[in-house]
């Protein structure tokens, strides 16, 4: 009986398995047929020359470009080929394209780059090339089969491309520009096609992220089940423009919102950038955007989704509310990146933690406008302006903040006037100065750090109530940090307990002195207690003397920091700022190697928190526009024997070209190593000058 029962069960299982096996067999045949159909259009790309190391890798300590082939896709029979811009960020001197069935590789010319969708157009001298069929965007549905192809591993170009099978998991991703797939996508098939089960191309594979817009954004997600492709229909739409040889830029409105929250706060304009599209049509601070391109909006994320696919020169309609009045703009022309503004420079360091009205001068930079005007340490600026009607300090905010907010509305070359109360006696006089630009923001001239600045940097009254000009007005309340401050090395965790970090606080910590905050992003593997104790020991004397606090987040990733860990780092910073008196003008992201790359990423993308980046042995990638109201300075260092030294030095020039204040230190006879004591003193001195005005 038992034997008969087992036999019957086996028959039932076999009967159920047969249809499944048939389905799998049919799927296998269909997949092979689809790949075979598009394979002749998938090319292999090899780059030679250029910058070798470019980005940190989640799979190892570094990711080196120009060491292996990647993938591209034929667009036209006469030799136009599209690929991911990621494949060319190393600025190769030679690009070779190998086509299936062609014995010799072609030398390709880079025609143009779509910097919004992160694609690069190439041209080879060939005719009669096979062109694939694309899937219209309207026919792409969530749940459809998606097959990612690459030709990086087939050196002879005889076999089928590499294949990874998945589905379309979302559309309209990356602010409306990309489709998402769970098929594995990696540097081997960046630039290759994502195809459907019939062999039609759905899109071109790229690394991408909603939190970044450079060529490496999203690279950390490769082979993770989150991949992106630009619909091929969209590529063909802009192909005529790319053929003209001009890079395509994302179209920008040119506003900054009042709130950083893009999901739950109404889109109220906080700032209109000079010479922007918004400025040209009269948009103002306080306006609330209600409709973009005919689509109602109630939060900034919706605006980003609508504007994401737009290019420089595209026209949109706009509705916004100003008070009780609704205004309509029928044709607003979006513009590309705005001209980077240079921050103005008076040439002084202010006395910190001073509750008195005005700004006391702590230090005057040599050859600065302040020195030329005869200002001296101990003088107090009591009024500022552009003409005879000078503006007094009100006490509504600390004097240094009022002065910097005013300066940020000006540009270098403007003449300003200051009413100054001299240190010696009660004499008050008005002086005129012509503003310079911040030191280090000129590509042709290096920033010369002062050999020494006065040690008495603080009035030691950070928690004292501010003096006000009008005695009838209540002074703004100064909130003391929460809880009793702990000193030494303190171990902490994020609110959810998932991430750990350590904080080093000098033993003589005084809450009446605003401390600088240095966020140390450790190299791979240097995340043990002994490593943090050794790092704190290097900084101990400097922390005590110059009032510095160290925050040391811990990455558990063996290969080093990933951009997805940014939120955790920010939480560690915010937690520390609640517990201690921190100077918001001196918050620095600091790291070595991949830690330095992470520091650069944090600075560029979170400048509402960080005012400085100190990176050792790290190269700057995509440089975002400078922001007039958010100063960000850079300290770049490299050993003279580090292969990246020239690229790091070039990074300083590129940053200065964007009008960032950048300082470069080359360490003689050293490789990719941390700072020696003499170099560390320079870094500390640089941090001490971050609040220069």
Do 378 and 425 belong together in one domain?
Answer: yes
Domain assignment present for residue 28? The answer is: no
Q: Is 689 exposed, middle or buried (0-12, 13-18, 19+ CB in 10 A)?
A: buried
| Residue at a domain's end among 333, 365, 384 | 333
> Which pLDDT value is given to residue 215?
55
Q: How many CB atoms lie within 10 A of CB 631?
A: 22
- Say if residue 2's pLDDT is above 60: no
| % of the chain at pLDDT higher than 90 | 59
Residue with tokens 């020039």: 653
Do 230 and 278 belong together in one domain?
Answer: no
pLDDT bracket for residue 64 (50, 70, 90): very low
> Which pLDDT value is given to residue 13?
45
158 by DSSP, 3-state: which? coil
Domain assignment present for residue 267? The answer is: yes
Residues listed for the chain: 693
Domain assignment present for residue 199? The answer is: yes
**Averaged pLDDT score across all residues of the chain:** 87
| Residue at a domain's end among 243, 267, 286 | 243
Domain assignment present for residue 3? The answer is: no
What is the mean predicted confidence (pLDDT) over 260-287?
A: 85
pLDDT digits (tens, 9 = 90+) for 556-572: 888 888 888 889 999 99
> Which pLDDT value is given to residue 222?
56
> Which pLDDT value is given to residue 21?
64
Give just the sign of the alpha carbon dihedral 345, 351, 352, 356. Answer: negative
Residue with tokens 């008076």: 346
Give just the sign of the alpha carbon dihedral 160, 165, 168, 170. Answer: negative
Do 80 and 130 belong together in one domain?
Answer: yes
Do 140 and 201 belong together in one domain?
Answer: yes
Do 329 and 371 belong together in one domain?
Answer: no
Of 454 and 674, the structure prediction assigns the larger pLDDT to: 674
548 by DSSP, 3-state: which? strand
Do 233 and 261 belong together in one domain?
Answer: no
Domain ranges, residue 294: 255-333
The total number of structural domains in the chain stands at 4
| % of the chain at pLDDT higher than 70 | 90
Backbone conformation region of residue 91, classed left if phi is above 0, alpha if psi is from -120 to 50, else beta: left
Q: Name residues whose C-beta falls within 8 Å of residue 258's C-beta, 6 or more positions apart in sequence.
A: 265, 268, 269, 270
> Which is nearest to 97 in space by CA: 42, 52, 38, 137?
42
Do 380 and 505 belong together in one domain?
Answer: no
Do 357 and 325 belong together in one domain?
Answer: no
What is the mean predicted confidence (pLDDT) over 249-259?
A: 85
What is the mean predicted confidence (pLDDT) over 654-672?
A: 92
Do 235 and 298 belong together in one domain?
Answer: no
Q: DSSP secondary structure string, 330-370?
A: EEEE-B-SPPPPPPEE--EEEPBS--SSSEEEEEE-TTSHH
- Would you give the distance in Å from CA 687 to the centre of its chain? 21
> Which pLDDT value is given to residue 9?
45
Long-range contacts of 527-536 (CB under 8 A, 24+ apart): 527/554, 527/555, 527/556, 529/502, 532/489, 532/502, 532/504, 533/489, 536/489, 536/504
d(CA 224, CA 204): 18
What is the CATH classification number for the domain harbouring 406? 2.30.42.10
Of 274 and 689, the structure prediction assigns the larger pLDDT to: 689
What is the CATH classification number for the domain harbouring 625? 3.40.50.1820
| Residue at a domain's end among 395, 419, 435 | 435
pLDDT bracket for residue 368 (50, 70, 90): very high
> Which pLDDT value is given to residue 197?
93
pLDDT digits (tens, 9 = 90+) for 84-133: 998 888 778 899 999 998 988 999 999 999 989 999 999 999 999 999 99
> Which pLDDT value is given to residue 341?
72
* Virtual torsion, Cα 347, 684, 568, 227, nearest 10 deg: 80
> Which pLDDT value is given to residue 159?
72
d(CA 457, CA 547): 9
Domain assignment present for residue 21? The answer is: no
Would you say 599 and 612 are in contact if contact means Cβ atoms under 8 Å apart? no
Do 144 and 264 belong together in one domain?
Answer: no
> Which pLDDT value is given to residue 93?
83
Least confident of 263-267, 319-323, 452-456: 452-456
Q: What are phi and psi of 38, to 5 degrees?
A: -95, -15
- 378-412 core/surface letters (b: 16 or more CB in 10 A; e: else): ebbbbbbeeeeeeeebebeebbbebbbebbbeeeb
> Which pLDDT value is given to residue 666?
94
> Which pLDDT value is given to residue 340?
65
Of 589 and 409, the structure prediction assigns the larger pLDDT to: 589
Do 276 and 228 belong together in one domain?
Answer: no
pLDDT digits (tens, 9 = 90+) for 511-536: 999 999 999 999 998 999 999 999 99
> Which pLDDT value is given to residue 55?
47
Domain assignment present for residue 578? The answer is: yes
Domain assignment present for residue 293? The answer is: yes
Domain assignment present for residue 454? The answer is: no
Q: DSSP secondary structure string, 35-62?
A: HHHHGGGEEEEEEESS-SEEEEETTEEE
What is the mean predicted confidence (pLDDT) over 274-278?
A: 82
Whole-angstrom CA distances from 469 to 149, 390, 477, 489, 629 are 69, 15, 15, 42, 25
pLDDT digits (tens, 9 = 90+) for 137-165: 999 999 999 999 998 877 666 677 889 89
pLDDT digits (tens, 9 = 90+) for 590-636: 999 999 999 999 999 898 899 999 999 999 887 887 877 789 999 99
pLDDT digits (tens, 9 = 90+) for 286-339: 999 999 999 999 999 899 899 989 999 999 999 999 999 999 999 999 988 666
Do 238 and 288 belong together in one domain?
Answer: no
> Which pLDDT value is given to residue 488?
96
């Amino acid at each position: 009986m038992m034997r008969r029962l087992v036999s019957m069960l086996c028959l039932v299982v076999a009967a159920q398995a047969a249809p499944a096996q048939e389905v799998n067999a049919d799927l296998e045949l269909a997949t092979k047929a689809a790949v075979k159909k598009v394979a002749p259009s998938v090319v292999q790309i090899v780059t030679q020359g250029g910058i070798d190391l470019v980005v940190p890798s989640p799979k190892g300590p570094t990711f080196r470009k120009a060491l292996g082939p990647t993938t591209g896709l034929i667009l036209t029979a006469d030799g136009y080929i599209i690929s991911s811009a990621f494949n060319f960020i190393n600025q190769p001197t030679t690009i070779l394209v190998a086509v299936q069935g062609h014995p010799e590789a072609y030398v390709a010319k880079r025609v143009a780059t779509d910097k919004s969708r992160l694609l690069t157009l190439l041209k080879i001298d060939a005719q009669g090339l096979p062109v694939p069929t694309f899937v219209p965007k309207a026919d792409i549905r969530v749940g459809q089969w998606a097959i990612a192809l690459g030709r990086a591993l087939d050196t002879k170009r005889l076999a089928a491309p590499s294949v990874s099978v998945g589905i379309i998991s979302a559309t309209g991703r990356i602010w409306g520009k990309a489709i998402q797939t769970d098929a594995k996508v990696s540097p081997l098939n960046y630039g290759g096609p994502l195809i459907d089960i019939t062999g039609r191309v759905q899109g071109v594979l790229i690394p991408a992220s909603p939190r970044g817009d450079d060529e490496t954004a999203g690279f950390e997600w490769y082979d993770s089940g989150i991949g992106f492709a630009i619909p091929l229909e969209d590529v063909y739409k802009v192909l005529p423009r790319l053929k003209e040889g001009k890079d395509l830029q994302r179209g920008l409105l040119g506003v900054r919102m009042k709130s950083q929250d893009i999901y739950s706060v109404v889109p109220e304009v906080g700032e209109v950038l000079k010479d922007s599209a918004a400025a040209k049509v009269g948009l103002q601070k306080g306006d609330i955007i209600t409709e973009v391109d005919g689509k109602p909006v109630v939060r900034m994320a919706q605006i980003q989704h609508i504007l994401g696919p737009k290019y420089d020169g595209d026209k949109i309609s706009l509705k916004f509310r100003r008070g009780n009045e609704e205004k309509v703009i029928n044709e607003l022309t979006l513009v590309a990146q705005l001209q980077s503004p240079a921050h103005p420079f008076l040439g002084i360091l202010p006395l910190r933690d001073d509750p008195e009205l005005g700004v006391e001068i702590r230090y005057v930079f040599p050859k600065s406008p302040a020195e030329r005007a005869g200002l001296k340490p101990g003088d107090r600026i009591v009024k500022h302006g552009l003409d005879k009607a000078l503006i007094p300090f009100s006490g509504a905010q600390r004097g240094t903040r009022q002065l910097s907010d005013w300066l940020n509305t000006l540009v270098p070359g403007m003449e300003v006037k200051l009413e100054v109360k001299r240190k010696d006696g009660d004499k008050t006089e008005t002086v005129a100065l012509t503003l310079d630009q911040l030191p280090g923001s000129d590509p042709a001239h290096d920033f010369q750090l002062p050999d020494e600045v006065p040690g008495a940097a603080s009035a030691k009254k950070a928690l004292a109530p501010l003096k006000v000009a009008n005695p009838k007005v209540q002074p703004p309340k100064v909130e003391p940090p929460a809880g009793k401050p702990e000193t030494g090395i303190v171990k902490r965790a994020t609110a959810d307990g998932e991430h750990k970090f350590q904080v080093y606080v000098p033993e003589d910590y005084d809450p009446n002195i605003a401390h600088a905050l240095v966020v140390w992003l450790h190299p791979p593997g240097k995340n043990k207690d002994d490593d943090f104790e050794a790092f704190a020991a290097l900084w101990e004397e400097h922390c005590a003397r110059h009032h510095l606090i160290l925050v040391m987040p811990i990455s558990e990733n063996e290969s080093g920091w990933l951009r997805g860990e940014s939120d955790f780092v920010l939480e560690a910073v915010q937690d520390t700022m609640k517990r201690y008196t921190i100077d918001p003008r001196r918050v620095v992201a600091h790291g070595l190697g991949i830690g330095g790359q992470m520091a650069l990423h944090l600075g560029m993308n979170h400048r509402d928190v960080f005012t400085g980046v100190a990176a050792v042995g790290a190269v700057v990638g995509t440089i975002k526009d400078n922001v007039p109201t958010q100063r960000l300075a850079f300290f770049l260092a490299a050993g003279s024997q580090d292969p990246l030294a020239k690229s790091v030095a070039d990074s300083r020039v590129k940053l200065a070209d964007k009008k960032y204040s950048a300082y470069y230190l080359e360490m003689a006879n050293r490789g990719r190593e941390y700072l020696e004591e003499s170099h560390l003193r320079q870094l500390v001195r640089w941090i001490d000058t971050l609040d220069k005005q």
